[in-house]
């Protein structure tokens, strides 16, 4: 098992200023500390829809790499998105799922199928072009750069430990200035 923030730090070294990143829930708070950017699109409050939002952005902006930082609990709320994404096959779409077996943002309750469900297996069956699963940080660090250079859609399951309580500043995620900065950055690029 890995620590989510360590995975995100490793990933952040390969994210460019032109990439659109959609971090959700607990991951969003970690990501915003690790790599602030006006092109971070926080889909907080729409549990399960980050991958759908990311798909729309990937289709609408094929000139930008779109990286979704999802959670297993969130993905379970919209599992059909895997089939839709695979069918539309955007080459610029990268879907990372932090798999910790909990609805972490809602009190750490266990997800259905915890320890049994294979999210990588579901993505593979849905038809994602490239699918990966990591539980070893060193191996992830060695491969993440090459993975982000592949043609999408790409799915990456990250086996991570639950992180526990976090300080959650929702104004920082949802403030009107954040939304305006995203719109301005998207128009500029």
Confidence check: pLDDT of 57 > 90: yes
pTM of the model: 0.89
**How buried is residue 108: exposed, middle or buried, by Cβ count under 10 Å (0-12/13-18/19+)?**
middle
| pLDDT at position 25 | 76
> Could you tell me if 71 and 26 are in contact, meaning their C-beta atoms sit under 8 angstroms apart?
yes
The predicted-structure confidence for 101-150, as pLDDT tens digits, reads as follows: 676 666 666 667 778 889 999 999 999 999 999 999 999 999 999 999 99
The torsion angles phi and psi of 95, rounded to 5 degrees, stand at: -115, 105
Domains and CATH numbers, the chain: 4-188 (3.40.50.970)
Choice between 27 and 66, residue whose per-residue pLDDT is larger = 66
E strand or H helix at 157: strand 154-159
């Amino acid at each position: 098992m890995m620590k989510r923030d360590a995975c995100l730090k490793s990933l952040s070294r390969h994210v460019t200023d032109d990439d659109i990143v959609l971090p959700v829930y607990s991951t969003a708070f970690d990501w915003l500390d690790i790599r602030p950017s006006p092109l971070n699109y926080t889909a907080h409050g729409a549990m399960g829809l980050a991958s759908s939002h990311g798909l729309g952005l990937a289709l609408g902006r094929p000139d930008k790499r779109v990286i979704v930082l999802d959670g297993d609990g969130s993905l379970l709320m919209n599992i059909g998105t895997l089939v839709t994404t695979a069918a539309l096959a955007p080459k610029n779409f990268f879907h990372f799922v932090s798999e910790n077996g909990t609805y972490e943002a809602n009190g750490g309750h266990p997800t259905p199928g915890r320890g049994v469900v294979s999210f990588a297996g579901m993505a593979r069956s849905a038809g994602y072009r490239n699918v990966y699963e990591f539980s070893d940080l060193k191996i992830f660090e060695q491969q993440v750069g090459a993975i982000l250079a592949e043609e999408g859609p790409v799915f990456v399951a990250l086996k991570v430990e639950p992180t526990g309580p976090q300080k959650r500043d929702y104004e920082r995620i949802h403030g009107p200035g954040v939304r305006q900065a995203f719109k301005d950055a998207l128009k500029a690029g």
